[in-house]
Amino acid sequence: MQQIDWIVLSVTLLFIVVYGVWKTRGSQNVEDYILGSNETPWYTVGLSVMATQASAITFLSTPGQAYHDGMGFVQFYFGLPIAMVVICYTFIPIYHRLKVFTAYEYLEQRFDLKTRSLASILFLVQRGLGTGLTIYAPAIILSALLGWNLTLMNIIIGVLVIIYTFAGGTKAVNVTQKQQMFVIMTGMFLTFFLILHLLPNDMTFSNAMHIAGANHKMDIVDFSYDPETRYTFWSGITGGFFLMLSYFGTDQSQVGRYLSGKSVRESQMGLIMNGFLKVPMQFFILLIGVMVFVFFQFNPVPLNFNPNNKIAVEHSKYKNEYHLLENKLDKLSEEKKEINLLYMDHLNQNYDNPILRKELVALSSKENDLREEARELIAKADGKAETNDKDYVFIHFILNYLPKGLIGLLLAVILSAAMSSTASGITALASTTAIDIYKRNVKGQKNEKHFVNATKFFTLMWGIIAILFACVGTLFENLIQLVNIVGSIFYGTVLGIFLVGFYIKYVKANAIFLGAAFSQLTIFYIFYLDVVSFLWLNFIGSMLTILLSVFAQMFLKSKTVVEV
Amino acid sequence: MPNKPAIWKKSYTWVLVANVIYILLFCLIMEMYA
């Protein structure tokens, strides 16, 4: 990091914070603070929704995912546009008509208080854990590569977010997310064109795509029915659809974004914008990862991108074995570079040489074997080490190959993404605590100012909890997996409650509560048995909640008839 | 003149059509490079 990088990074982040505070100064009531005065235009809603979903991990992990496994991950988002349409048709008009501050308020109007409390508590548990992670995940990666103090990083990211969310609430989150998305997209576009510029002189974009294709990185859509393959067209359309429906339709960190829209139509247009742009955006981020892969076909590549893993092996008895593997990889890289250059020459003469393609595949397979051996050595040297290095690929490229100034901008991209997701998380946690728990249970008549102060207090409280959770993140092994599992366990039930509320008028309060409670217990049991991937728990949970609540309603109705 | 909500409902269709086009484009890219 040079001085210019520090200047770019600090100025960008401080500008966003100061702009957020300045733009939202002045007196506020609860509607201003939680719903942003319902003044947000559709493009701000759209950008805000996209910025909330795109956390720092999106920009660190996704290119690394493409580097190792190719473009197939984009299929995970195929269900998103369908979910956007369903939410626009059903969820948004109902939320606006009932003038709710949070999604869970609707549940009391449709069912009863206990259902509302159940859903809001499930949300607070999972989002409370998730918001800590949005700070912790980039901090641990940047601290490993730059030697920055992890706790200090957690505190800096957290405090910057608290300053503007505390001061301006939802409006501050919306206006800063616009700047953050601008920084993010500018940084990513510049990086993309710079990678192309860093490729060998006579390498065209089409040649780069051919090289990626020869290494199986361009297998974008998979129509197979193999349940072993995680990302296929079918899993994206079904599993992805249910996941996106629950995330965008019932998670207050997203619902809060579009409830701040000027009107029903502005909220709907914001989500439709997300439906138009999300798949191409993810495709573009994955393509950056694929171009990084092509770049490393002509440049020295480490055996494992996580520097901590190398340090762990260096301090163990496996040091010499590891060095041996490194030497083998160096030789292999040289060989690969020569064949790639030859392949490129043939491509320039309009000849896609099948023999060279085969050789490239064979060399890639050898490289994967070397990496696997290295992972085994790392695991032997340090049993707790995370040997999967996909989160470190892109940041390794940024820090070692980008020019001065752009490194600072790319770090600002990563921290902006972390801040935008954290800000949405904290405001959603604060508004749910204030509206669904505090306001619903507080005794006596309180004025508007009291509830604004209470929401501000909860913003501060959840901000501090998120920082504390991020600071103790190292105590938990594989934190991301933990949070994803917790999310999948609870999301399905919450979505099921909302779907019954919207579409099955026949089911009443007691039946949905019984159905949701039994469904949640069954999900716990299925998780304990470990018979399906946790990604499917979401779908199973929502279906179970719907079916069990209908059965419960039939049972309760027949019981009432008998009693009469 | 068609009413605004009718025009608006059409954009739901357009978002789905756009995504079908994206998927077709992905298939084309695969055909060319994979």
Classify residue A70: in a domain, yes or no: yes
Q: Which candidate in A266, A272, A361 is best for mutational testing of the B interface (most B CBs within 10 A)?
A: A272
- When the pLDDT of each residue in chain A is averaged and rounded to a whole number, the result is 88
A315 in the same domain as A284 = no
A251, with CB counted inside 10 A (0-12, 13-18, 19+), is: buried
CB A60 within 8 A of CB A394: yes
Per the structure block, which two tokens stand in for A184?
């993010």
CA atoms lying within 13 Å on the CB side of residue A187 = 28
CB A431 within 8 A of CB A252: yes
Determine what percent of chain A is predicted with pLDDT higher than 90: 41
Note the pLDDT tens digit of each residue in A335-365: 999 999 999 889 888 888 889 989 988 998 8
Report the number of distinct structural domains present in chain A: 3
State the sign of the Cα–Cα–Cα–Cα dihedral A371, A376, A382, A386.
Answer: positive
A462 in the same domain as A341 = no
A418 in the same domain as A370 = no
Classify residue A534: in a domain, yes or no: yes
What's the domain range around A112? 3-21+31-296+400-475
Query: What's the pLDDT band for A235 if we cut at 50, 70, 90?
Result: confident
User: Of A475, A498, A514, which residue constitutes the final position of a domain?
Assistant: A475
A432 in the same domain as A351 = no
User: Of A342, A365, A388, which residue constitutes the final position of a domain?
Assistant: A388
Q: Which residues contact A453 (CB under 8 A, 6 or more apart)?
A: none
A54 in the same domain as A182 = yes
Q: Is residue A474 over pLDDT 80?
A: no
Taking CA atoms, what residue in B is nearest to A87?
B12
A470 in the same domain as A488 = no
Q: What is the pLDDT of residue A481?
A: 64
Classify residue A162: in a domain, yes or no: yes
Of A4-13, A424-433, A439-448, least confident by mean pLDDT is: A439-448
Q: Is residue A423 over pLDDT 70?
A: yes
Whole-angstrom distance, CA of residue A194 vs CA of residue A330: 25
Write the CA distances from A133 to A56, A342, A366, A472, B33, integer angstroms: 10, 45, 35, 10, 37
Whole-angstrom distance, CA of residue A538 vs CA of residue A240: 10
Q: Which residues contact A468 (CB under 8 A, 6 or more apart)?
A: A132
Question: What single-letter amino acid sits at A369?
Answer: D
Classify residue A480: in a domain, yes or no: yes
Q: Which candidate in A82, A91, A218 is best for mutational testing of the B interface (most B CBs within 10 A)?
A: A218
A419 in the same domain as A370 = no
Q: What is the pLDDT of residue A417?
A: 87
Q: Which of A141, A72, A151, A160 is nearest to A398 (CA)?
A: A141
Query: What's the pLDDT band for A129 if we cut at 50, 70, 90?
Result: confident
Report for A133-137, A556-560, B1-5: range of highest mean pLDDT: A133-137
Whole-angstrom distance, CA of residue A516 vs CA of residue A32: 34
Q: What is the pLDDT of residue A561?
A: 54
Give chain A positions within 8 Å (CB) of B26. Answer: 71, 74, 220-221, 283
* Residue A46 at interface with chain B, using a CB cutoff of 8 Å: no
Give chain B positions within 8 Å (CB) of A88. Answer: 12
Give chain A positions within 8 Å (CB) of B21. Answer: none
Does A37 or A560 have the greater pLDDT score? A37
A483 in the same domain as A470 = no
Q: What is the pLDDT of residue A446?
A: 79
CB-CB: which of B11, B22, B34 is closest to A279? B22
CA angle A447, A427, A286 (to 5 degrees): 160
* Residue B11 at interface with chain A, using a CB cutoff of 8 Å: yes
Does A362 or A478 have the greater pLDDT score? A362
Mean pLDDT of B20-24: 94
A494 in the same domain as A359 = no
What's the whole-model pTM score? 0.89
Q: What is the pLDDT of residue A36?
A: 75
Note the pLDDT tens digit of each residue in A25-65: 765 777 778 777 778 899 999 999 998 888 888 888 889 88
Whole-angstrom distance, CA of residue A154 vs CA of residue A418: 11
Note the pLDDT tens digit of each residue in A265-321: 999 999 999 999 999 999 999 999 999 999 999 998 999 998 888 888 988 888 899
Q: Which candidate in B4, B7, B17, B23 is best for mutational testing of the A interface (most A CBs within 10 A)?
A: B23
User: Of A445, A475, A505, which residue constitutes the final position of a domain?
Assistant: A475
Mean pLDDT of A529-546: 84
Whole-angstrom distance, CA of residue A62 vs CA of residue A282: 8
Q: Which residues contact A371 (CB under 8 A, 6 or more apart)?
A: A303, A304
A462, with CB counted inside 10 A (0-12, 13-18, 19+), is: buried
Q: What is the pLDDT of residue A564?
A: 46
Mean pLDDT of A378-387: 83
Mean pLDDT of A412-438: 89
Does A129 or A384 have the greater pLDDT score? A129
Q: What is the CATH number of the domain that holds A101?
A: 1.20.1730.10
A196 in the same domain as A183 = yes
CB A412 within 8 A of CB A12: yes
| Chain A residues 191-230 within an 8 A CB cutoff of chain B | 209-210, 212-213, 216, 218-221
CB-CB: which of B8, B19, B30 is closest to A221? B30
Q: What is the pLDDT of residue B1?
A: 45
A14, with CB counted inside 10 A (0-12, 13-18, 19+), is: exposed
**Domain ranges across chain B:** 1-34
Tell me what ipTM this predicted complex has.
0.85
